[in-house]
Structure 1
């Protein structure tokens, strides 16, 4: 299960990771009220389970509560990679000195986690990883050993993160392991002008095999689903993923699956392969 950004932010905060003050709004008036409480100048961020929100126009700075109202009106209802925006997060802006990338991901083939860190965080991190893979450090983490103080310092140094980021490296590891997560990602992790290490964004994927340990989280997730079809499937104990195109895949385990192709024009015949 992928968490929304506001859920990841709340999770990080529980583990002592610094995050900007923020509130969630379901409407433009709520966004304006949130901006007033947060000091006026805010960042309005679309809450959808997909990347590329900034490039799609789903993350915008608002100079005052009135601008937050107008910005929220523009963002709510947007389609971002097939996901409709139903909520926005209104966050306090941060004076950024430098951006970094930090994450943990499950390496299934090796049976361990990888810590992934880079001194070049931000929206272009995917391009950096392709063009200059040496700029992105990948450090294996033994799940039995975990991330000790020494390991956290090693991860920070390998990725070009400042030494003061090491405590955040450890806290995110705790969040990953204690919450049965498969992925924890912060992009960007920033150093502010006053020297604080702050998570400006967050992505967390929980292991569905551990959902019996977190029934409340999954119940709330069903209620907040982007796609009503996904919510209906979850209520029936099924996994449903919305995809682009005209090919559907039904999988029932043991390597058995069926595909259904639906052409854009009415077909003379249809076929199903298994």
Structure 2
């Protein structure tokens, strides 16, 4: 998530703010009915005959940001140690030009993804319980997955880059100390997720960052503090009109979730 306002950055540098997301410098209008964030009660795209294909696997889904973050800068601006420095606890995220906020998008897709994975037998936990709270800090999100000894962690985001840029990318960790042992499996998870997302959604790799849909970073607390395989996915650029239209479509968000589930399943099999 890239920043175009005065909101605080979770990650190092002002050009890249994935994993803590960027703010849009103001309040985010409520999504229209066409961009409802009510999660589905059952998966619409779960592959047939796979009810137990992920049985015994523990998967943690991290929906980026939270709906109450913008109103509580005193909480999310507090610095936390991310392994190689200090960053804000969390950030507000970005939004589409039509006012669909990133935190609502990530919450919706996370619940869709959880429904598909649970239908395949996986134990699935989310790092936040709703879309109206504050935080939790990126370090707490990582600790949730570490405590559960998750087999895979997917942190869901959408970027806020220049409008001319489009496409998705998956972010893998660089070794910073405690996460050194999970860099290699995280790379395999990232590649599996990239391949499935590109195939399942038809979206191209990002034109403005990374290489062939993959990027590696050492400034994201959720990756630096992880002791289990973990990646971030920037599902598209909310500032790009074409990507924003897909992100704002409930049907396309289900395609995103189905594709992510395929990628996680491919990694775990």
What TM-score do the two structures reach when normalised by structure 2?
Answer: 0.26
Give the number of the structure whose residues are more often strand, by fraction: 1
TM-score of the pair, normalised by structure 1: 0.25
Q: Which has the higher contact order (CA 8 A, sep 6+)?
A: 2
